[in-house]
A and B are shown apart, each in its own frame.
Chain A
Amino acid sequence: MIKNKISTNDSEKDGQKSVLNRRLFLRSAGVATAVGTLALGACKDDDDTVTPTTPATGTVDLGSGDVGILNYAYALEQLEAAFYEQVVKTPYTGITAAETTILTDIRDHEVIHREFFKAALTAAAPTQIIPGLEVDFSKIDFTSRAAVLGAAKLFEDTGVAAYNGAGKFIKSADYLLLAGKIVSVEARHAAAISDLITPKTADFASDTQIDANGLDKATASATILAAVQPYVKTKLSGANLPK
């Protein structure tokens, strides 16, 4: 029942293409400057300083800069924590003791991540922290092992790709290290969940997740937010996130 797959290889390639195209565009822009015909409007997406976008009423704006990225992480951790809280509360049919242990561990980790971000943001940016989000898991059949583990895999792989994609925009070395401490735990989860779905295969780090250079996904926040929005009733806006 997972309708929104995250960042397939194709979208990843599109991302690389867009980077390439932007670089090529900047080069052409440089050329154009030299001959005096630069069209400023076309540069809008690449400006470092953007006018903050005001979100529509009822939309939660994640904000900008490092605080925006922390809010982004906090939103994803809220989603993951709520999901595993439900999984542990209403175990799927036929769950084994070993699976219960793994899923309970993961729940604890995600709750800790959520509460950590809440505390950190409350301390660092009390006026900018996003509120608790209302989740929507109506599309997930929590009695079904396949549905629960499929959703878990989606959330974990999404988390890894999100942190990997956001890391280079973090300005504070302390925050970057914190993100690093968390993303590898998400990657451990992703592999553990995959191995429950298809044990003893290469799926813990499959060729659809890892590219031919041995690199995991790194996905832009806009793509991630679009993919997780169906599971969050609160409308999220990442329009002001660094990108």
Chain B
Amino acid sequence: MDIFKILDEIQKIDGDSVGRLEHATRRHFMSKIGSKLAAVAVPTAFASIVNKAYAQSAGAIDILNFALTLEYLEDGFYQMANGTAGLIPDTDKAIFAQIGKHETQHVAFLKGALGAKAVAKPTFDFTGKGAFATVFSDYKTFLTVSHALEDTGVRAYKGQAGGLMGDPDLLQYALQVHSVEARHASIVRKLLSAATGNAAIKSWITNAEGSPAAVYAGDDNKTQGGVNLTGLAGKSDAAITEAFDEPLTKDQVLAIAGLFL
């Protein structure tokens, strides 16, 4: 069976069928590309399907490029850290290898979705213009930057979800990345708590506590769905703020990311 001949036949009847088939094939294909097929082995025709910009609307492209920029930052950060001898203790290497792997996958996924519309990778200064000068030599500093990047990622994706409502597939992908970033944040916060001996740092964000402050601004919000939840079920303000992660706007996120650009 010649798939292209079949496609030609279908297109004679249904002019948009190829577009829809590409969409479907891309979804199916994207689920397999990472696990089974080496990219170089992919037939050109299918590679073009994957590389064709997934995002069609300008708004969606903008959001995906914003996400890609953050993922570039995280990916570059963990590649550097995982490749720096003596930084991450042996006991914690499996954790950061896994986190780094996910960030690399997110970059590849977003680049695949954006195709030619993907922004280029910026040059990063992971010391935050000197604010974290020992980020790759002192484990506590590294953990501080790591947890801030992960919590920023969680808040950033959350802030963009509404902008993707017009494209349910992209919205779901964003949500699927969002919860992975939250898993990362949870485990890194635990490591940071242990390394600093600060039991007040938990896997969840209490009030607006955390450093740098800009990353946690507004996370002490207690009004949800228009209702002030103070005192709900007799729970503390700490618990109420921990139970809801707050979004950041794109401008807030870019201001934070700007530290590392």
A residues near B (Cβ < 8 Å) are 13, 16-17, 19-20, 23-24, 26-27, 30-31, 34-35, 102, 105, 108-109, 111-113, 115-116, 119-120, 123, 160, 163-165, 167-170, 173-174, 176-178, 180-192, 195, 200-202, 204-205, 210-218
Name the contact of A192 in the complex, choosing from B97, B175, B186, B236 (C-beta under 8 A). Answer: B186
Pull 30 A–B residue pairs with CB atoms less than 8 Å apart, ordered by A: A16-B31, A31-B17, A34-B14, A164-B175, A167-B172, A176-B165, A177-B162, A178-B225, A180-B158, A180-B247, A182-B243, A182-B244, A185-B204, A188-B186, A188-B245, A200-B91, A202-B95, A205-B99, A205-B102, A205-B187, A211-B31, A211-B35, A213-B30, A213-B106, A213-B108, A214-B104, A214-B105, A215-B173, A215-B176, A215-B180
Minimum CB–CB distance for A106 against chain B, Å: 9
Query: A181-B244, A205-B183 known; A176 and B161 CB under 8 Å?
Result: yes
Q: Determine whether the beta carbon of B28 is less than 8 Å from that of A214.
A: no
Name the contact of A20 in the complex, choosing from B24, B105, B244 (C-beta under 8 A). Answer: B24
Given contacts A187-B186, A191-B182, 6 further A-B contacts (CB under 8 A): A105-B202, A180-B245, A200-B94, A204-B95, A204-B183, A210-B180
Query: A57 vs B169: C-alpha distance in the bound complex, in angstroms?
Result: 36
Binding site of B, secondary structure by majority: helix, strand, loop or mixed?
Answer: helix
Q: Which residues of A contact B184 (CB under 8 A)?
A: 191, 204-205
Q: Which residue of A lies closest to B225 (CB)?
A: A120
Minimum CB–CB distance for A199 against chain B, Å: 9
Query: A30-B14, A108-B235 known; A188 and B203 CB under 8 Å?
Result: yes
Q: Determine whether the beta carbon of A191 is less than 8 Å from that of B91.
A: no
Minimum CB–CB distance for B225 against chain A, Å: 5
Q: Which residues of B contact A205 (CB under 8 A)?
A: 98-99, 102, 180, 183-184, 187
Minimum CB–CB distance for A11 against chain B, Å: 13
Name the contact of B224 in the complex, choosing from A17, A23, A116, A163 (C-beta under 8 A). Answer: A116
Q: Determine whether the beta carbon of B235 is less than 8 Å from that of A187.
A: no
Q: Which residue of B lies closest to A13 (CB)?
A: B31
Query: Could you tell me how many residues of chain B have their Cβ less than 8 Å away from some Cβ of chain A?
Result: 75
Minimum CB–CB distance for B98 against chain A, Å: 4
Which of B172, B179, B190, B245: most chain A CB closer than 10 A? Answer: B179
Q: Which residues of A contact B109 (CB under 8 A)?
A: 213-215
List of 9 A-B pairs having minimum Cβ-Cβ separation, nearest first: A212-B34, A214-B105, A187-B182, A191-B186, A215-B176, A168-B168, A184-B182, A202-B98, A188-B186
Query: A238 vs B85: C-alpha distance in the bound complex, in angstroms?
Result: 52
Q: Determine whether the beta carbon of B158 is less than 8 Å from that of A177.
A: yes
Query: A26 vs B173: C-alpha distance in the bound complex, in angstroms?
Result: 22
Q: Which residue of A lies closest to B247 (CB)?
A: A177
Query: Does residue B21 face the partner (Cβ distance < 8 Å to A)?
Result: yes
Q: Determine whether the beta carbon of B23 is less than 8 Å from that of A113.
A: no
- In the complex, chain B residues 160-203 whose Cβ is within 8 Å of any chain A Cβ: 161-162, 165, 168-169, 171-173, 175-187, 190, 202-203
Q: Determine whether the beta carbon of B186 is less than 8 Å from that of A204.
A: yes
Q: Determine whether the beta carbon of A211 is less than 8 Å from that of B203.
A: no
Query: A183 vs B178: C-alpha distance in the bound complex, in angstroms?
Result: 9
Minimum CB–CB distance for B123 against chain A, Å: 23
Query: Does residue B10 face the partner (Cβ distance < 8 Å to A)?
Result: yes
Query: Does residue B253 face the partner (Cβ distance < 8 Å to A)?
Result: no
Q: Determine whether the beta carbon of A180 is less than 8 Å from that of B165.
A: no
Q: Which residues of A contact B220 (CB under 8 A)?
A: none
Minimum CB–CB distance for B21 against chain A, Å: 6
Name the contact of A167 in the complex, choosing from B161, B177, B227 (C-beta under 8 A). Answer: B161
Query: A169 vs B13: C-alpha distance in the bound complex, in angstroms?
Result: 32
Q: Determine whether the beta carbon of A202 is less than 8 Å from that of B165.
A: no
Q: Determine whether the beta carbon of A212 is less than 8 Å from that of B35.
A: yes
Q: Which residues of B contact A187 (CB under 8 A)?
A: 179-180, 182-183, 186
- In the complex, chain B residues 29-60 whose Cβ is within 8 Å of any chain A Cβ: 30-31, 33-35
Q: Determine whether the beta carbon of B27 is less than 8 Å from that of A27.
A: no
Query: A215-B173, A217-B176 known; A108 and B243 CB under 8 Å?
Result: yes
Q: Determine whether the beta carbon of A23 is less than 8 Å from that of B158.
A: no
Name the contact of B183 in the complex, choosing from A181, A191, A218 (C-beta under 8 A). Answer: A191
Name the contact of B243 in the complex, choosing from A27, A113, A195, A213 (C-beta under 8 A). Answer: A113
Name the contact of A31 in the complex, choosing from B10, B25, B177 (C-beta under 8 A). Answer: B10
Which of B157, B175, B181: most chain A CB closer than 10 A? Answer: B175
Q: Which residue of A lies closest to B9 (CB)?
A: A31
